[in-house]
């Protein structure tokens, strides 16, 4: 090997090392960005802290919480509103962050898990309730003026479970149509169950049943005692819960007055 060839090898090796250090440095900066985002969320989604973390065209979305556009301003203000209405306190744990860089090295995609202890208002009483929230994040990052920022964040919720009951009994908060109703039913009586509607699937009165008779099932029970009645509308053993609700995605918009019509698969008006 000549001296010239050795020099060329060293130059190539140095270039590769430089590229690797640059990638590791960028990854470290992006992980810092994720941590800064978590810390900003844990002080009530502070818009002053959140705003500079996003590019001017950034979006933030989570089914149920909403989609926010308008870069740092839009995302920060949207998140601030979420904190005021739905999350009163939180401790975000961002776990197992994975970063993949585009060929340019100026953009990247990311994935990580969310495991969050939170205080949310109880749907019925409005009182503070301890809750575990779990999900995953998908994000895009862009280097903007030498600083890594979020250009898009999508949070996919997997559970928001009451701390006192746990996710086996209650994967989602009370009051959502994706939960069964546990009712003490009597043999010999005829009950009317209606699928879908603004309040989810539930037992209805004769007058309510008359409003949408095609959606109503009349049934009796053979034995006295508690029965799990489907509230999600997706049971294959309607009107009884068969656990199908456990496979549904949580949708915060199902709560409250703005709840959309919920229709089970194959159901007609």
In whole angstroms, the minimum distance from the beta carbon of 182 to ligand FES comes to: 10
- Looking at the Cβ atoms of 81 and 216, the one nearer to ligand FES is 216
Site string for ligand FES, 141-180 (x = CB under 6 A): --------------------------------------xx
Task: Determine contact, residues 181/207, Cβ cutoff 8 Å.
Answer: no
- Beta pairing, strands 54-62 & 147-162: parallel
Nearer to ligand FES, 243 or 256 (CB): 243
Q: What are the structure tokens assigned to 243, written together?
A: 């656990």
Looking at the Cβ atoms of 74 and 239, the one nearer to ligand FES is: 239
Site of tokens 């503070």:
128
Q: Judging by beta carbons within 10 Å of its beta carbon (0-12, 13-18, 19+), is residue 168 exposed, middle or buried?
A: exposed
Site for ligand FES in 229-248 (CB under 6 A): 230-232, 234-235, 241-245
Instruction: Decide: is 262 part of the binding site for ligand FES (CB under 6 A).
Output: no
Q: Give the whole-angstrom CA distance, residue 110 versus residue 26.
A: 12
Contacts of 174 (CB under 8 A, 6+ apart): 122, 123, 124, 162
Measured at CB, which residue is nearest to ligand FES?
A: 241
Site for ligand FES in 203-222 (CB under 6 A): none
Gap between the Cα atoms of 128 and 122, Å rounded: 6
- Check binding of 75 to ligand FES (CB under 6 A): no
Piece of 93-101, 111-119, 206-214, 228-236 that binds ligand FES (CB under 6 A): 228-236
Our CB check for ligand FES shows the closer of 98 and 247 to be 247
CB 251 within 8 A of CB 241: no
**Residue closer to ligand FES, measured from CB, 90 or 179:** 179
Q: Give one DSSP letter per residue of 93-130, joined into a string.
A: EEEEEEEEE-TTSSEEEEEEEEEEEEEEE-TTT--EEE
State the nearest-atom distance from the C-beta of 124 to ligand FES, in Å. 17
How many amino acids of this chain bind ligand FES (CB under 6 A)? 12
Q: Which stretch binds ligand FES (CB under 6 A): 65-73, 74-82, 118-126, 226-234?
A: 226-234
Q: Please report, as residue ranges, which positions from 13 to 72 form the binding site for ligand FES (by CB under 6 A).
A: none
Other residues' Cβ atoms within 10 Å of the Cβ of residue 111: 13
β-strands 191-194, 202-203 pairing: antiparallel
Neighbours of 8 (CB within 10 A): 11
User: Does 200 contact ligand FES by CB under 6 A?
Assistant: no
| Residues near ligand FES (CB under 6 A) | 179-180, 230-232, 234-235, 241-245
């Amino acid at each position: 090997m000549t001296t010239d060839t050795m020099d060329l090898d060293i130059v190539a090796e140095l270039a590769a090392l430089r590229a690797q250090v640059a990638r590791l440095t960028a990854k470290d900066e992006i992980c810092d960005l994720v941590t800064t985002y978590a810390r900003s969320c844990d002080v009530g989604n502070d818009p002053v802290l959140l705003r500079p973390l996003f590019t001017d065209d950034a979006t933030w979305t989570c089914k149920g919480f909403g989609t926010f556009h308008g870069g740092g301003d839009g995302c920060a203000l949207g998140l601030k509103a979420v904190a005021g209405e739905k999350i009163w306190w939180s401790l975000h744990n961002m776990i197992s962050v994975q970063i993949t860089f585009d060929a340019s090295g100026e953009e990247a995609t990311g994935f990580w898990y969310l495991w969050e202890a939170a205080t949310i208002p109880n749907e019925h009483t409005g009182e503070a309730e301890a809750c575990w929230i779990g999900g995953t994040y998908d994000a895009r990052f862009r280097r903007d003026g030498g600083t890594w920022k979020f250009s898009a964040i999508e949070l996919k919720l997997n559970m928001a479970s009451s701390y006192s009951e746990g996710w086996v009994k209650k994967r989602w908060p009370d009051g959502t149509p994706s939960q069964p109703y546990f009712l003490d039913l009597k043999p010999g009586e005829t009950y009317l169950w209606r699928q879908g509607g603004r309040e989810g699937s539930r037992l209805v009165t004769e007058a309510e049943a008359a409003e949408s008779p095609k959606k109503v099932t009349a049934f009796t029970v053979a034995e006295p005692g508690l029965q799990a009645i489907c509230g999600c509308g997706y049971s294959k053993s309607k009107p009884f819960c068969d656990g199908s609700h456990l496979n549904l995605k949580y949708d915060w918009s199902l709560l409250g007055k703005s709840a959309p019509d919920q229709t089970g698969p194959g159901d007609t008006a």
